[in-house]
């Protein structure tokens, strides 16, 4: 199985600028001027231009909003140096939402991207949680 990650953003150029600067990803290609394919992580990340207040799905009245929002699914970026990665993310436009938490051989800091999408930076002492 292959995992692809899709992230809705209201502005594709700002999304590309943030994710390439914050995580050292590279823009591989633009598809129809409203989808950006980013590579450099273990999964391909697609930024999807979706207008604010547009319907999320046909089966709900829920609308996209790009203020900080919560969802039960988020992305964790595993990094080698969490403090350096945190500085890089904030310099790119992320909002830091927590102090560093240590748990089971890991260090974690939570953030929001400039569009309200939550993510974590995680540094492991080994390859995963102990």
Per-residue pLDDT of the chain in tens (130 residues, 90 and over written 9): 999 999 999 999 999 999 999 999 999 999 999 999 999 999 999 999 999 989 988 898 889 989 998 888 899 999 999 999 999 999 999 999 999 999 999 999 999 999 999 999 999 999 899 9
CATH architecture of structural domain 4-124: Roll (3.10)
Residue 84's SS3 state is: helix
Other beta carbons within 10 angstroms of residue 3's beta carbon come to 7
Query: Among candidates 83, 99, 81, which has minimal Cα distance to 91?
Result: 83
């Amino acid at each position: 199985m292959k995992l692809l990650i899709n992230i809705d953003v209201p502005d594709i150029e700002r999304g590309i600028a943030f994710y390439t600067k914050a995580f050292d990803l590279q823009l591989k290609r633009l598809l129809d001027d409203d989808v950006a394919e980013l590579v450099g992580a273990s999964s391909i990340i697609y930024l999807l231009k979706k207008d604010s207040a547009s319907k999320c799905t046909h089966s709900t009245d829920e609308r996209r909003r790009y203020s900080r929002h919560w969802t039960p699914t988020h992305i964790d970026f595993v990094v080698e140096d969490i403090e350096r990665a945190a500085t890089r993310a904030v310099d790119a436009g992320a909002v830091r939402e927590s102090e560093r938490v240590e748990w089971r051989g890991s260090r974690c800091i939570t953030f929001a991207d400039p569009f309200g999408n939550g993510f974590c930076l995680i540094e492991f002492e080994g390859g995963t949680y102990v």
